[in-house]
Amino acid sequence: MVDIFFTSFKEPLDDTVYSEFLSLLPEDLRKRNARFMRWQDRHANLFGKLLLIEALKHHNINTNIWNLITYGKHKRPYLTLPTYDFNISHSGDYVICAISKNIQLGVDIEENRARRFNHFDNVMTKKQWKDIQSSNNPIRTFYKYWTIKESVIKADGRGFYIPLDQLEIRDNTVQFEDRLWFLNNLDFAEGYSAAIATSKLTTFKTHELNFYE
């Protein structure tokens, strides 16, 4: 089972409420949050951390979670709890956090903004470009592939060190080197694409949180 926690926002939190939430983070993360210029980026960063707190509480982990986070060789965050994995993504008005036990995972969400495809020549296979260019909705098809590829490279842990144009999608799976990843598309809102890659076939449960109540 994978639990997927998500939230959305359209406006800034009240300053007092924002400060109270921010106080739940350690000093280094508060300072990192303050470096974002746009309020939207500060909120997305904060909400990602709050979703992780709630996700761990859901699994009865209530200790100081910031002592449980470490970073891999390619700066991908992991929990030091050996059987758990988590991953966070945000785009536009949405923030999501996936967590599971005994499953390695990666998740990605992207707002379907207009793109100039010639800036992404090396991220799709020839077949994928053909699907995109012949689609009734090329932007949506592009982001369907993009979120799948992002979820795989995040689950793997090496990120963009993996060449995206080598990720072929067959029967809702991606095989890369010696690993097989199982893929699922996620639906959150019109105008967004999202996907999750997992190391095992599994089920999913979504949890929507509202930090404005």
The predicted-structure confidence for 151-178, as pLDDT tens digits, reads as follows 999 999 999 999 999 999 999 999 999 9
CA atoms within 13 Å, Cβ hemisphere of 120: 19
- The answer on pLDDT for 82 being more than 90 is no
Q: Has residue 110 been placed in a domain?
A: yes
Residue 25 sits in a domain whose CATH number is 3.90.470.20
Q: Model pTM? A: 0.96
Which amino acid is it at 53?
Answer: I
Q: Has residue 47 been placed in a domain?
A: yes
User: Under 8 Å CB-to-CB from 150, ≥6 apart: which residues?
Assistant: 89, 106, 108, 110, 195
Q: Has residue 213 been placed in a domain?
A: no
Q: Has residue 132 been placed in a domain?
A: yes
Residue 211 near residue 43 (C-beta atoms within 8 A): no
Q: Has residue 203 been placed in a domain?
A: yes
The range of the structural domain enclosing residue 15 comes to 2-208
Q: How, if at all, do strands 179-186 and 192-198 pair?
A: antiparallel
User: Under 8 Å CB-to-CB from 195, ≥6 apart: which residues?
Assistant: 107, 108, 144, 147, 148, 150, 151, 183, 184, 185, 186
Q: Has residue 133 been placed in a domain?
A: yes
Of 151, 64, 137, 167, nearest in space to 107 by CA: 151
Mean pLDDT check: name the lowest of 10-14, 78-82, 133-137.
78-82
Give me the residues paired with residue 196 across strands. Answer: 107, 184
Q: State the average pLDDT over residues 199-205.
A: 97
> Which is higher by pLDDT, 55 or 116?
55
The total of structural domains in the chain comes to 1
Q: Has residue 143 been placed in a domain?
A: yes
- The answer on pLDDT for 3 being more than 90 is yes
Q: Has residue 174 been placed in a domain?
A: yes
